[in-house]
Amino acid sequence: MKTEQEFSLNIMSLPSKPQFQNFIDAFEIGKMGTYFWNSAFVSLFTVIFTILFGFFTAYILARFKFPFRNVIYFMFLTGMLIPIHGLLIPIFIEFKALGLLNKHVTLIFPYVAFNLSMAIFLFENFIKTVPLDVEEAAVIDGSSSTNTVLRIVLPLCMPVISTAVILFFLGAWNEFPFALVLIESANLRTLPIGLTNFNGQYTANYTQMLAAMAIVVLPVIIVYLAFSKKVMQGMTAGAVKG
Amino acid sequence: MKKSYRALTSTALVSSMVLLAACGSNNASEGSEAAKPKIKFMHMYDKNATPPSHQADLIENFKKANPDVTFDEEVQSHDNYETKIKTLSAANELPDLFLVKPSMVATFVENGLLLPLDDQLNKDAAWKDGFIEGSLDPYIVDGKTYGVQMSGGPTHVIYYNKELVANAGFAEFPKTWTEFETLIKKLVEQKITPIALGNKGKWVANSSYMSTLGDRFTGTEWFNSLVANEGAKFTDPEFVQALGALQNLVKIGAFNKDMNSIDNNQQRTSYYNGKAAMFIEGSWAANAVESSAPKDIVEKTGLAVFPAIEGAKGAQNSVSGGGGWAYAVNAKVDPAKLDDIQKLIKSLTDSSAAKLILEYGDIPSSKVENIESIELSPMSKQLVQLLETTKYTPIYDTRMSPGLTESMNTTLQELMIGKYTPEQAAEAMQKEYDKEMKK
């Protein structure tokens, strides 16, 4: 809303002549539109796949006893301990070998992989709190097992799934190191990388950057508002159910 | 229950297959067979960036003049570029042509990642001899040149408000350190911030202050000996004196109170407002002043360097400068591309490029003939005139290892908040230095 000159004189003052040129510049010069779509694409699929894989895996781990169940569960959990930066270079080399660098879907793989352990941990704990009687009743009423999971257990897990949606959406939306290393072409970049382009080596174009930031924050706020009610319940997921 | 477990597993398996298959078919169609192999070029000069950069212009010009050379370009902003190039070097997947900083050169060369460019330089004597003396030194390892620099101004320039300095009783900028301190005390009395400093990033005190101040006290020989591990120590009395001089500036109230919580962009704000009489930064800030400061401030701005220090050992007209980014070539590059790469680097760094670089208000690494014929902004003119009276000395943080630089940055900050005496600060740096040299 302010020009660069006005901004450098007084950061906190209200704009004397409100103007939207910064927003226009952010889209035209900063390619915010392209980045926005890329971020949305990556975040959306990350959330879908993480929750899909996470939920079914967690269900099996929670409901069935099979050999090595504890070992598998423990392996998933240790996944949460792995520092992302340590894996950056190996993953880069691996992706290079697989020819997966610099594609639209590139970022979805690491994001899903890194979020899975968290998802499984959350879901597994929550599914354990869902009474088995409900499922038994459904089976007695002639529901198939797949049906039981999808129609009975899944809806009951809505609070924890909402939490997961917000958590993973935010994570994918704001993720920086992988987006930087695995993506080369400007057309496939995500928002966090795009934002830093307003920062030169010694100078920063703050006004455009702030305009761009306003654009970036919007969807996050929208997603949060949409799921916030569920999050309130989700916050207590795994806590004692009264 | 057994059955459902199987059903679930198969669902998961099938869905992952679909996902993988969907991705597999997404092979981006590579460009049609060009006559020449594509040059993979990674840099940080976006042609749409503000403020515009001379390198972006020069790259575009080269493309127009040589349509037969094809590129596979990747442009990242400065900080991202640095992160990514380090990652790529660790994975040994560097592009054909890219930029390096002096502090990276030694490590990269050690790991055989860089191609010596002497053959390319020797092919074209005019280009090679056109460089300002010493401007390629930071990129030379064992007598071989690994980087070609386009521009590298001084990292230390004092931008001062002539009117405020005159009001404090100095018609022209102080010539000696004692006078300089007197000026600062006068300004404090007048309730004006003498020097606006934003050292949040920690590099300002090192790059724009200490590199010059230290050299005045110790001389350049000392620093070269330090880097080469030939006996010089941070604890040498001359360097401790330099640290003392810096700390004394803080003591007499030279800086604003929030110097550690604002950055180098923000330090200019109080100068633009006329609330501060000076700020100290590299030549790059000249552009920022011209584009962001109010007109009357731009007109009142004078440029200077630290005044002479009485009885100090080094050259008293020295200014840290000349380092910075330079073009480098991957050791594994396909020899078929070398001629084009040489043409490109030359077009970005030779004396005709230097003219454009000057017009942008930057300081080129190649000499420019008959400087008067070029249209320059008043600020750039002042800068060029100022540099005719000075000589370049090493920029500390471009020549020291990243670890040592980090330690020095932190120590200087702690010295400036009075946590360390100059002696203690010197010892802290020396400790880090000894640790590194033992390796």
Q: Which of A39, A58, A40 is nearest to A50 (CA)?
A: A58
Contacts of B26 in chain A (CB under 8 A): 103-105
pLDDT of residue B18: 44
Per the structure block, which two tokens stand in for B142?
A: 């064992």
Q: Given A4, A30, A185, which is nearest B292 (Cβ)? A: A4
Say yes or no: A59 contacts chain B, CB-CB below 8 A.
yes
Question: Above pLDDT 70, what percent of chain B?
Answer: 91
Does B203 lie at the interface with A, CB-CB under 8 angstroms?
A: no
Residue A200 has pLDDT above 70, yes or no: no
Q: Is the pLDDT of residue A7 over 70?
A: no
Q: Give the residue-averaged pLDDT of B340-366.
A: 88
CB contact under 8 A, A105 and B80: no
Please list every residue in chain B whose beta carbon sits closer than 8 Å to the beta carbon of residue A197. 46, 49, 77
Per-residue confidence band for B22, with pLDDT thresholds at 50, 70 and 90: very low
Residue A4 is predicted with a pLDDT of 64
Q: Name beta bridge partners: B364.
A: B151
Answer whether A93 touches B (CB < 8 Å): yes
The fraction of chain A above a pLDDT of 90, given in percent, is: 22
pLDDT tens digit sequence for B392-439: 888 888 888 878 999 999 999 999 999 999 999 999 999 999 998 876
Residue A99 Cα, gap to closest chain B Cα (Å) = 9
Task: Determine the residue type at B30.
Answer: E
Q: Does B56 touch chain A (CB under 8 A)?
A: no
Cα-to-chain-centroid distance, residue B265: 15
Set of chain B residues whose Cβ sits within 8 Å of the Cβ of A186: 75
Q: Do B50 and A93 touch (CB under 8 A)?
A: no
Query: Do A183 and A42 contact (CB within 8 A), yes or no?
Result: no
Q: Are B99 and B325 in contact (CB under 8 A)?
A: yes
State the nearest Cα–Cα gap between B146 and chain A, in angstroms: 23
Question: Above 50 in pLDDT, residue B32?
Answer: no
Q: Does A44 touch chain B (CB under 8 A)?
A: no
- B288 vs A: CB within 8 A: yes
Residue in chain A closest to B1 (alpha carbons) equals: A145
Please state, for a pLDDT cut of 90, what percent of chain B lies above it: 49
Q: For residue range A101-138, what is the model confidence (pLDDT) as tens digits?
A: 888 889 999 999 999 999 999 999 999 888 888 888 88
Query: Alpha helix locations (H) across B66-176?
Result: 78-90, 102-110, 118-122, 125-129, 162-167
Distance from CA of A68 to the nearest CA of B (A): 15
The rounded distance, in Å, linking the Cα atoms of B198 and B281 is: 10
* Residues of chain A found within 8 Å of residue B3, distances taken between Cβ atoms: 145
Domains B39-152+322-383 and B157-321+392-437 equal at CATH topology level = yes
With an 8 Å Cβ cutoff, are B285 and A202 in contact?
yes
Q: Which of these, B184, B164, B223, B158, lies nearest to B390 by C-alpha position?
A: B158
Any idea where the domains of chain B sit in the sequence? 39-152+322-383, 157-321+392-437
Residue B417: per-residue pLDDT: 92
* Confidence band, pLDDT 50/70/90 cuts, at residue B347: very high
Chain A contact set for B265 (CB, 8 A): 203-204, 206
A113 in contact with B at a CB cutoff of 8 Å?
Answer: no
Where b means 16+ CB within 10 Å and e means fewer, A81-120 reads eeeeeebbbebbeebeeeebbbbbbbbbbbbbbbbbbbbb
Yes or no, beta carbons of B3 and A60 under 8 Å apart = no
**Comparing C-alpha atoms, which of B139, B107, B104 is closest to residue B121?**
B139
Mean pLDDT (whole number) for A140-144: 88
**Is residue A233 within 8 Å of residue A122, measured between CB atoms?**
no
Q: Does domain B157-321+392-437 have CATH number 3.40.640.10?
A: no
Q: Do A89 and B91 touch (CB under 8 A)?
A: yes
pLDDT of B187 strictly over 90: yes
CATH superfamily of B39-152+322-383: Periplasmic binding protein-like II (3.40.190.10)
Query: Between chains, do B292 and A5 touch, taking CB under 8 Å as contact?
Result: yes
Mean pLDDT score, B263-284:
91
> From the CA of B144, how many Å to the nearest CA of chain A?
28
